[in-house]
A and B are shown apart, each in its own frame.
Chain A
Amino acid sequence: MSTTTTEKNNHFQDHLMEHHHEENFFTKYIFTMDHKMIGKQFLITGMFMGIIGVMMSMLFRLEIAYPEQSFPILEFFLGKWAPDGIMDPNMYLALVTIHGTIMVFFVLTAGLSGTFSNLLIPLQIGARDMASGFMNALSYWFFFLSSVIMVASLFVEAGPAASGWTVYPPLSALPQAMPGSGAGMTLWLISMTLFIVGSLLGSLNYIVTVINMRTKGMSMTRLPLTIWAFLVTAILGVLSFPVLLSAALLLMFDRLLGTSFYLSDIFIGGEVLSYSGGSPVLYQHLFWFLGHPEVYIILLPALGISSEVIATNSRKPIFGYRAMVGSILAIAFLSFIVWGHHMFITGMNPFLGSVFTFTTLLIAIPSAVKAFNYITTLWKGNIQFTPAMLFSIALVSTFVTGGLTGVILGDSALDINVHDTYFVVAHFHIVMGLSAIYGMFAGVYHWFPKMYGRMMNKSMGYAHFWLTFITAYGVFFPMHFLGMAGLPRRYYSNTAFPMFDNLADINVLITYFAIIGGAAQLIFIFNFFYSIWRGPKAKQNPWRANSLEWTTPVEHLHGNWPGDVPVVHRWAYDYSKPGAEEDFVPQNVPLAEGEESGH
Chain B
Amino acid sequence: MSPISIIVLIVLVVLTLVQVMRISEISSEIQKGEDNEVSPKDNNTQGRLMLLVGFGFVISVLVMYVAWGRLSLPEPSSAHGAEIDSLWNLSMLIINIVFFIVQPILFYFAYKYRGKKGTKATYYEHNNRLELFWTVVPALALAVLIIWGLNVWSTLMMPENEEEPILVEVYAQQFNWTVRYSGGDNELGYATVHEIAGANILGVDTQDPASADDIVAKELHLPVGKPIQFAFRAQDVIHSAYFPHFRAQMNCVPGSVTNFQFTPIITTAEIRQNKDVKAHVEEVNEIRTAKGEDVWEFNYVLLCNKICGAAHYNMQMDIIVETQDEFDAWLKEQKTVAETL
B2: nearest residue on chain A (CB-CB)? A71
Interface size class of A (residues with CB under 8 A): 35 or more
**Are A177 and B121 also in contact (CB < 8 A) when A320-B131, A386-B38, A413-B153 are?**
no
Q: Considering the chains assembled together, what is the distance between the CA atoms of A522 and B7 in angstroms?
A: 13
Q: Which of A1-9, A46-54, A238-246, A264-272 contacts B (4 or more CB under 8 A)?
A: A264-272
B125 touches A317 (CB 8 A): yes
Chain A contacts for B158, CB-based, 8 A: 350
Bound CA span A174–B308, Å: 11
When distances are taken between beta carbons in the complex, the residues of chain A under 8 Å from B312 are 93, 490-492
- Which of B34, B107, B280, B307 is the most central at the interface, judged by chain A CB atoms within 10 Å of its CB? B307
Q: Evaluate contact between A347 and B256: CB separation under 8 angstroms.
A: yes
Residues from chain A with a CB closer than 8 A to the CB of B6 are 512, 515
Residues of A within 8 A of B87 (CB): 411, 413-414
Residue B238 lies at the interface, judged by CB distance under 8 Å to chain A: yes
A170 to B239, CA, bound (A): 10
| Contact flag A379-B113 (CB < 8 Å), given A493-B313, A498-B288 | yes
**When each residue 287-310 of chain B gets 1 if its CB lies under 8 Å from chain A and 0 otherwise, what string results?**
110000000101001011111111
A354 within 8 A of partner (CB):
yes
For A493, list chain B residues within 8 Å (CB): 313-314
B57 within 8 A of A: yes
| A267 and B237 alpha carbons, distance in the complex (Å) | 9
Residues of B with C-beta under 8 A to A404: 95, 98-99
Contact assessment for A382 and B116 in the assembled complex, using a CB-CB cutoff below 8 Å:
yes
Q: Give the docked Cα–Cα distance between A88 and B313 (Å).
A: 13
**Looking at the complex, which one of A317, A478, A512 makes contact with B124 (CB distance below 8 Å)?**
A317
Contacts of B71 in A (CB 8 A): 481-482, 484-485, 502-503
Q: Which residue of A364, A383, A496, A520 contacts B142 across the interface (Cβ within 8 Å)?
A: A364
The listed residue (B24, B61, B115) touching A384 by CB distance below 8 A is: B115
Contacts of B138 in A (CB 8 A): 364-365, 368
On chain A, the residues within 8 Å of B256 by CB distance are 264, 279, 281, 347
CA distance in complex: A280, B242 (Å): 19
Is B113 within 8 A of A314, CB to CB? yes
Given A272-B194, A383-B43; A266-B254 close (CB under 8 Å): yes
Number of A-B contacts (CB under 8 A): 399
B134 touches A372 (CB 8 A): yes
A163 in contact with B18 (CB, 8 Å): no
B150 & A266 in contact (Cβ 8 Å cutoff): no
Whether, in the assembled complex, A532 has its beta carbon less than 8 Å from a beta carbon of chain B, the answer is no
B244 with A486: CB separation less than 8 A: yes
Q: Is A564 at the interface (CB under 8 A from chain B)? A: no
**Chain B residues whose C-beta falls within 8 Å of the C-beta of A115 in the assembled complex:** none
User: What is the interface size of chain B, counting residues whose CB is below 8 A from a CB of the partner?
Assistant: 131
Whether, in the assembled complex, B94 has its beta carbon less than 8 Å from a beta carbon of chain A, the answer is yes
Decide: A347 near B249, CB < 8 A? Known: A379-B113, A383-B47, A470-B53.
Answer: no
Does the CB pair A362–B301 fall under 8 Å?
no
Interface string of A165-199 (1 = CB under 8 A from B): 00010110010011000000000000000000000
Interface of B is mostly: helix
| Alpha-carbon separation in the docked complex, A280 to B116 (Å) | 60
Query: Cβ of B54: which chain A residues have Cβ within 8 Å of it?
Result: 397
B330 at the interface (CB under 8 A from A): no
Is A590 an interface residue when CB atoms closer than 8 A count as contact?
no
Q: Does B283 contact A (CB under 8 A)?
A: yes
CA distance A66 to B4 in the complex (A): 12
For B153, list chain A residues within 8 Å (CB): 350, 353-354, 357, 411-413
In angstroms, Cα B17 to Cα A81, docked, is 34
The residues of A that contact B284 with a CB separation of less than 8 Å are 498-499, 501-502
CB-contacts of B119-148 with A (<8 A): 119-127, 130-131, 134-135, 138-139, 142, 145-146
Contact among B49, B73, B146 with A484 in the assembled complex (CB-CB below 8 Å): B73
Residues 236-274 of chain B, each 1 if its beta carbon lies under 8 Å from chain A, else 0: 111010101101111101111011000000000000000
Binding site for A on B (CB under 8 A): 3-4, 6-7, 10-11, 13-15, 17-18, 21, 24-25, 29, 34-38, 42-43, 46-47, 49-50, 53-54, 57, 60-61, 64, 68, 71-73, 83-84, 87-88, 91-92, 94-95, 98-99, 102-103, 105-107, 109-110, 113-116, 119-127, 130-131, 134-135, 138-139, 142, 145-146, 149-150, 152-154, 156-158, 173-174, 192-194, 196, 203, 232, 235-238, 240, 242, 244-245, 247-251, 253-256, 258-259, 280, 283-284, 287-288, 296, 298, 301, 303-314, 316
